[in-house]
Amino acid sequence: MAKNKKYNILITGAVGFISSCLAQRLFSDGHSLILVDNFHFPIKNKNLKGLSSCQKIERDDLFNWIEENEPTIDFVFHLGARTDTTETKTHIFDKLNVEYSQDIWRYCALEDIPLIYASSAATYGLGENGFVDDHDLVKSLKPLNAYGDSKNDFDKWALEEFMSPPAWYGFKFFNVFGPNEYHKGRMASVVFHFYHQLINNGEVNLFKSHKENCEHGEQTRDFVYIEDLINVMLHFHSNNEKIRSGLYNIGTGKSRTYNDLAKAIFKAVDKAPKINYIDTPEDIREKYQYFTEAEMTKVKSTGYDKEFISLEESVDHYIKEYLAKDNKIYTPESY
């Protein structure tokens, strides 16, 4: 797709964290947007500030609306999903994360529309097979919860489906953080939660290590800022005629410790670190991940050459430009 051309783009999960930030960026670039979600939650709808001129379609009405209106759609970002990792009702994930995604896929295939959809790093489970976005490994992955299972189930289905969109990319998002996640409650990023712990209590709680070869707080994650995530997705959007379809990781490729993260948060508010180490709850202790890190060779092979923002710089920006300003809504001009 030509980089300067304006497109009609459909985005699902539009009021959510990642989708709403992406929508703001695309709208600021002059694209026309069709926003799809359940819009009955006022607290989340403020993520769409400034997007009142965009077409909004209720999630359950989408395909009827398409049939009645036959809209011109040039690209689909299917980022809507049930993301609660503590949810155990598999039928909810089957409906929203698998069956609805299959319907989106079939529509894009029939109408010849390129598709980007959200997979998840949760598909990797404990990382027994590494964190490599290799299609040959997908059937061997062992997610730790129903959410991860649903994402992996759809990945497997997509890889085996004969009829497909002209270009499609399933992105395995790692630990994403940034503005517009204020509504996610316990599912918000640890950056969000640690910042509010610091502001409310003057200290941050980290899980103790329950492994002999790992010190407290030295468990690691691949933390990726929303700006980098959007940059990668837009690279694929702009170059989908050249990039091979498939599954791709989006992280930074650099795993960092929770101690590093906590120290970055304290530095951003100009306070000396005060960290407490608490026991990892027994109900999650056996399945607790001690290391995640996205293998990013595949993304870089597509010609993506931007440097990822460092943990310290991104945490500083998130806190000073957003969290310290009472959860200001994402603005593309702020970074």
Q: What SS3 class is residue 46?
A: helix
List of residues 6+ apart from 193 with CB closer than 8 A: none
Residue 290 a catalytic site member: no
List of residues 6+ apart from 25 with CB closer than 8 A: 230, 234, 332
Q: Which of 7, 100, 124, 147 is catalytic?
A: 147
List of residues 6+ apart from 127 with CB closer than 8 A: 289, 291, 292
Spatial separation of the C-alpha atoms in residues 32 and 6, rounded to whole Å:
7
Residue found by looking up tokens 């039928």 in the block: 91
Two structure tokens written together for 237: 């959007």
**∠ CA(197), CA(202), CA(205), 5° rounding?**
50
| Contact yes or no for 34/51 (Cβ under 8 A) | no
Spatial separation of the C-alpha atoms in residues 333 and 335, rounded to whole Å:
6
| Contact yes or no for 245/167 (Cβ under 8 A) | yes
Residue 169 a catalytic site member: no
Using only C-alpha atoms, what is the Rg of the chain? 20
Please name the amino acid found at residue 267: K
Q: Which of 184, 208, 267, 328 is catalytic?
A: 184
Residues labelled catalytic: 147, 184
